[in-house]
Amino acid sequence: MRQTQAETRRQSVAKRSMTKEAKQLADLIAALRESLDDIQRQRASVRLSGAEMGALDERRNNLLLTVAALGDRLSAVQGLIDLGRPHIIRVH
């Protein structure tokens, strides 16, 4: 019986932890998308040199890759929560 309670407690802690992580990831993705919108406005509103345009394009591409990776992570975390199989992920 104690082992079942301990496992239930671990599952509960893991679910809270992963739910918190999912919220943080969603907030971070939203902030990065705002940065992407800002880059797009900069490209459209200002006369830029080729080098400046290239720097903005590189920054945009890096943000897009980051958003995609974070989106994959968010999807995985939400999937584990939905399956009822949350676990605490230790990062070293």
| Nearest-angstrom CA–CA distance, 32 and 66 | 8
Q: Is 90 part of a structural domain of the chain?
A: no
pLDDT on residue 26: 97
**Residue range of the domain that includes 51:** 2-82
Q: What integer best gives the mean pLDDT of the chain?
A: 88
pLDDT on residue 87: 66
pLDDT on residue 47: 86
pLDDT on residue 34: 97
What parts of the chain have a pLDDT lower than 50? 92
pTM of the model: 0.80
Q: Is 89 part of a structural domain of the chain?
A: no
Number of domains forming the structure of the chain = 1
Helices 2-45 and 50-82, interaxial angle, to 10°?
A: 160
Q: Is 63 part of a structural domain of the chain?
A: yes
pLDDT in tens, 4-29: 887 788 888 888 889 999 999 999 99
Q: For residue 41, count CB atoms less than 10 angstroms from its CB and return exposed for 0-12, middle for 13-18, buried for 19 or more.
A: exposed
